[in-house]
A and B are shown apart, each in its own frame.
Chain A
Amino acid sequence: MDFQPLYDVVHASRDARLKYTPPRLSLADRDALIQRWHPDYREAAYRPIAFGPNAGDRTVRELAALLEGDSSIAGDLPLSPAHVVDVLVVGGGGAGCAAALHAHGQGANVLLATKLRLADSNSVMAQGGMQIAVAPDDSPVQHFLDTLKGGHMKNDHRLLKTMVEEGPSVAQWLLELGVLFDRNADGGLHVKKGGGSTRERLLTCSDYTGLEIMRVLKDEVLNRKIPLLEFSAAVELLSDEQGACAGAVLLDLDNKRHIVAAAKTVILATGGIGRLHIQGFPTSNHYGATGDGLALAYRIGVPLVQIDTFQYHPSGGVYPEQLVGQLVTEGIRSEGGHLVNAKGERFVNELDTRDVVASSIIRECEEGRGVRTATGRVGVWLDTPLLEVAQGAGTLDKHFPAMVRQYARYGVDIRTDPVLIYPTLHYQNGGAKIDVNGETPVRNLFAAGETSGGLHGRNRLMGNSLLDLMVFGKRSGMTAAARAAAIPQGMLTLNHLRRFREDAGKHGVTDRVVSPLVLPAYAGQP
């Protein structure tokens, strides 16, 4: 389809737009906007969970079904372990790698199991950066306050304080491992401003921050020869006679055999839920983001927190079709890129929090000021050429090489033409309840990263996820290693699964999906 006349609207309005920046919304305006337009407030998408630790709590229908779902394994599965370890890490993304490295560093005998390859994750895609208060005019306290505001004041204060205070030492750890954060001319760390932040606080590796960190962490896991099971998905946890976690049952995806792993401690680092396509949204998430850790933790008795709120990233691709749902980096807005409706107007402060920006885009589109594509999708413009105009030719090539490449593949030159975007399902704000060491209320079971909850409140601030992964990966890994040194291996039972099945029966829940899903069922879909 010929976008040229539509592009022209964006080009023609650029000078006028540069003279007016929409103000950040007041708290009251923000709440009103979100309650009117944010997908978290669509009543029909929600229902109460029938039974289990969160019985009666509301969440989206897709997640409720997953939590109430049934395990794929039989109650009498033989439980003779193929592996006996101190620390079993489930998941090979940022939190899993950090947990495994730190547990290994403490001398623990670690096994890392992941259902895809090591480092296949959402972490590897993180482009925007990592928030750490390193700038002279910044402080952990300021980082705390910004995050709290972004999270609608619903963040767990203890988790949040822990995260912001450990940020600088995490940066140092990554630098020591060889992560190449962008530097200023004087060698200091270059920091950018992210949406919802009052200070420049984003550490970046051009727009490959997650990729650079994961290349290094994966390499380090391999260098340390940490035992690794790829294409091995956790499908059930194991509990001992006291109800503490004692290991997991893995499913080898290549030969469909079960692998029993006895572990004194288990760290769930299984990531988020984008591939459940909540409310039919496309997603920016990787292939394995099916919320497995939530289902596993729930069945063994871990209460989940804030699972009624999800993050819809403001800028998911709309056109071309191949990029639908894929993330368009927030960095463009950080560097001054405008969001523009079909009439050539700005309609939100681009650096407002993700929920505000996403709600505003949905409003523009619902009220008829969006741009429709040939396939019937709708979106608004992200004015990428503005960066070339305002900061000089070559700016996009220099600072956003990944995005230039992302679009050039399909013949779209973001240096000359704006791109269409619409919110995409990006992040699970809540998750398994944890303490400051990443331990869940079920003893010896830890959760780190996106699968855990409480830290981000009702809206995660840009750049806080990479930090979350590193800090709580580290803390859970170190705590699990120390715990494992002090306790014997528990008996392996499926007592919790038997109780959960009885509970389902008592509540008359019969039509249950197999849970966890492990991989989305895309084969054969139109």
Chain B
Amino acid sequence: MTTKSFDKVAAVEQEDALHPPMVTVEIAGKPFQVPAGVTLMKALWHTGHEVTRGAGCLGGFCGACATYYRTKDDPKVKTCLACSHAVEDGMSFSFAPPFPARKATYDVTNIEDPKQALFDLYPEAPLCRNCNACTEACPQQIDVREGVWKAVFGDFKAVSETFMDCVMCGLCAPVCIADIVPNLVGVYASRAHGARELEPPSGLTDRIQAIAKGRYDDDWRRVLKMTDDELQQTSASITSAGKSG
């Protein structure tokens, strides 16, 4: 493999980049021409849409751009995140509107029986009828239905693992025929697992106390007196911490 050969490839391909092939998409019912391969979000900007609601991190982590789309001739309406999904010719799409889901409120640090509390906070959670629409609606491919059942059965650790990918887009909520809000059930169970079921990590309290009691004060005095040159040389030579900390 030489430098020459990939430059040649690039030269040919760049012709395409200068005149990208266009595809036709339908945005909220109106047809537009957009460059092939761009994200749905870039398609919106390309066609002059001002986006206020519907854009967030633009990196697939925040769920702000939850979108419904349908590909050519397919009756199935699917979901995606507009910031990280590419256009296809003949595709139709629209942002999902904000859904007025009910969120229960609670003090997670002060719940006596977290498993029982789930049924008080979200009494609809055990009413899942297994239709699987939530799982099909998830743009993160989370097995949402399974997550809800694990919550109902009290396996909050498994819930936290199932929902670790959840970007809280909320697309699972409008499709639920039992009015469950699966992502919020997931957050509750996950937080309850961390706050109420897991043991605090060993060593952390000791470190907090060591700092409070001045265990590092000698090191600090020494370090804070140093010139920049001395500090640069010091780097890894602070070893007493290992013994005392």
Contact = CB atoms under 8 A, between A and B. Distances in A.
Interface of A: 1-2, 5-6, 8-9, 27, 116-117, 119-122, 124-125, 133-134, 136-142, 144-146, 148-149, 153, 157, 161, 165, 168-169, 171-172, 175-181, 183, 186-189, 198, 205-206, 208, 210-212, 215-216, 218-220, 222-223, 225, 231, 253-254, 284, 286-287, 320-322, 326-327, 342-344, 368-369, 371-376, 401-402, 405-406, 409-410, 519, 522-526
A142 B195 contact: no
Given A186-B202, A211-B61, 10 more contacts: A1-B13, A6-B1, A136-B203, A140-B211, A141-B241, A161-B224, A180-B190, A188-B203, A216-B191, A374-B14
14 contacts: A139-B216, A139-B245, A171-B204, A176-B195, A180-B198, A189-B201, A210-B61, A211-B167, A212-B164, A216-B187, A374-B10, A374-B16, A519-B52, A523-B48
A29 to B, nearest CB: 14
Contacts of A372: 6-7, 10
A321 B38 contact: yes
Contact of B203 (A125, A134, A254): A134
Contacts of B167: 211
B231 A148 contact: yes
Contact of B238 (A5, A142, A287): A142
Contacts, number: 253
Contact of B190 (A138, A178, A220, A368): A178
Nearest to B81: A409
A222 B191 contact: no
Given A157-B224, A188-B203, A286-B56, A120 B62 contact: yes
Most chain B CB within 10 A, of A121, A145, A220, is at A145
B139 to A, nearest CB: 10
Contact of B37 (A139, A220, A322): A322
A54 B65 CA distance: 38
Interface stretch (B89-97, B102-110, B130-138, B174-182): B102-110
A187 B202 contact: yes
B28 to A, nearest CB: 15
A216 B188 CA distance: 9
B24 interface: no
B84 A8 contact: no
A125 B168 contact: no
Nearest to A171: B204
A218 B60 CA distance: 18
Contact of A134 (B55, B196, B204, B244): B204
Interface string B71-113: 0000000000000111000000000000000010111110000
Given A125-B61, A189-B204, A206-B164, A8 B1 contact: yes
B157 to A, nearest CB: 9
B110 to A, nearest CB: 10
Q: Which of A138, A177, A409, A526 has the most CB of B within 10 A?
A: A409
Given A117-B64, A373-B10, A188 B194 contact: no
B204 A172 contact: yes
A353 to B, nearest CB: 13
A121 B164 CA distance: 18
A134 B62 contact: no
Across the A-B interface, give the 7 residue pairs with the lowest CB-CB distance, nearest first.
A139-B241, A178-B191, A374-B13, A178-B194, A178-B195, A120-B56, A372-B10
